[in-house]
């Protein structure tokens, strides 16, 4: 009788078998581009378009997810060396563009691919996008920055409808812009700043009027970092 009771208790207390389900995820397909060394060398050896802020806009692909960084630099060799130290994954320089104003050209490309932005300067570009970039059939807005037409138009406009700054005013403007360098980047030469730009800076710092900064960004004077 005791044996039967212990036998029943043992059967009741026996743990149920745990069934584990294994979910197998199909690996995501990533297309990795191969850099064309001749193509890159040709760009590097070519002359810069006329402009006050010559430099490069580069397209670097990382090999972890296949996304692209669209950035700017004046010294591409130093920038790529920096990537090899800072980035924790393999990356390749896929294409370069020389621009007369690399600040504005970078902004123009970021705006063009805004719907494909992942985070910061990283974008989910496709084969078609890279083909379009290499063919250089850019939009009018991008082409104007490469050949510095935006800067030329701004300078011409400033000469006709805006007053240039005195040396003292320019130093004052520089001091205020330096206070913004954590969040904003100057997109024009200091020499092209106008009285209207100075007034907007003063309005912001005196009254904390964010609209004044937004106007400077809209007019291409400042860029949000």
Nearest Cα residue to 203 out of 225, 176, 179: 176
Of 116-125, 176-185, 188-197, which gets the smallest average pLDDT? 188-197
The answer to whether the CB of 223 falls within 8 A of the CB of 103 is yes
Main-chain phi, psi angles of 90, to 5 degrees: -65, 145
The answer to whether the CB of 123 falls within 8 A of the CB of 70 is yes
- DSSP string for residues in 106-121: HHHHHHHTGGGEEETT
Helix%, strand%, coil% for the chain, nearest 5? 50, 15, 35
Note the pLDDT of residue 179.
93
d(CA 71, CA 68): 9
Q: How confident is the model at residue 172 (pLDDT cuts 50, 70, 90)?
A: very high
Q: What number is the average pLDDT over the span 46-60?
A: 91
Please report, rounded to a whole number, the percentage of residues in the chain having pLDDT higher than 70: 77
d(CA 37, CA 176): 43
pTM (two decimals): 0.56
Q: How confident is the model at residue 79 (pLDDT cuts 50, 70, 90)?
A: confident
| 83 pLDDT above the threshold of 50 | yes
Residue that wins the pLDDT comparison between 210 and 123: 123
Dump pLDDT digits (tens) for 12-50.
444 545 445 554 444 556 788 888 889 988 988 999 998
- For 33, the 3-state DSSP assignment is coil
In words, the CATH class of domain 37-152 is alpha beta
Note the pLDDT of residue 106.
94
Tell me the two tokens of residue 47.
């002359």
d(CA 116, CA 88): 23
Phi-psi region of 191 (alpha: psi -120 to 50; beta: other; left: phi over 0): alpha
- For 223, the 3-state DSSP assignment is strand
Note the pLDDT of residue 26.
46
Helix (H) or strand (E) holding 140: helix 140-146
Domain borders along the chain are 37-152, 162-224
Dump pLDDT digits (tens) for 98-132.
999 999 999 999 999 999 999 989 999 999 999 99
Phi-psi region of 91 (alpha: psi -120 to 50; beta: other; left: phi over 0): beta
Please report, rounded to a whole number, the percentage of residues in the chain having pLDDT higher than 90: 31
Question: For the chain, what is the mean pLDDT?
Answer: 80
d(CA 115, CA 107): 14
């Amino acid at each position: 009788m005791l044996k039967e009771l212990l036998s029943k208790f043992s059967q009741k207390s026996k743990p149920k078998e745990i069934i584990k389900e294994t979910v197998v995820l199909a690996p995501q397909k990533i297309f990795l581009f191969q850099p064309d060394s001749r193509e890159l060398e040709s760009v590097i050896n070519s002359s810069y378009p006329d402009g006050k802020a010559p430099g490069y806009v580069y397209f670097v692909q990382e090999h972890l997810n296949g996304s692209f960084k669209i950035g700017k630099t004046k010294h591409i060799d130093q920038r790529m060396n920096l990537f090899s130290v800072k980035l924790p994954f393999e990356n390749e320089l896929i294409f370069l563009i020389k621009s007369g104003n690399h600040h504005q050209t970078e902004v123009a490309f970021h705006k063009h691919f805004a719907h494909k932005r992942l985070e910061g300067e990283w974008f989910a570009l496709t084969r078609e996008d890279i083909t379009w970039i290499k063919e250089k059939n850019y939009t009018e807005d991008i082409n104007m920055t490469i050949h510095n037409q935006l800067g030329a138009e701004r300078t011409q406009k400033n000469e006709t409808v805006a007053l240039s700054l005195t040396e003292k005013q320019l130093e004052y403007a520089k001091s205020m812009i330096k206070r913004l360098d954590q969040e904003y980047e100057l997109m024009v030469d200091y020499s092209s700043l106008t009285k209207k730009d100075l007034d907007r800076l003063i309005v912001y710092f005196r009254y904390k009027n964010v609209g004044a900064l937004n106007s400077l960004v809209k007019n291409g004077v400042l860029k949000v970092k």
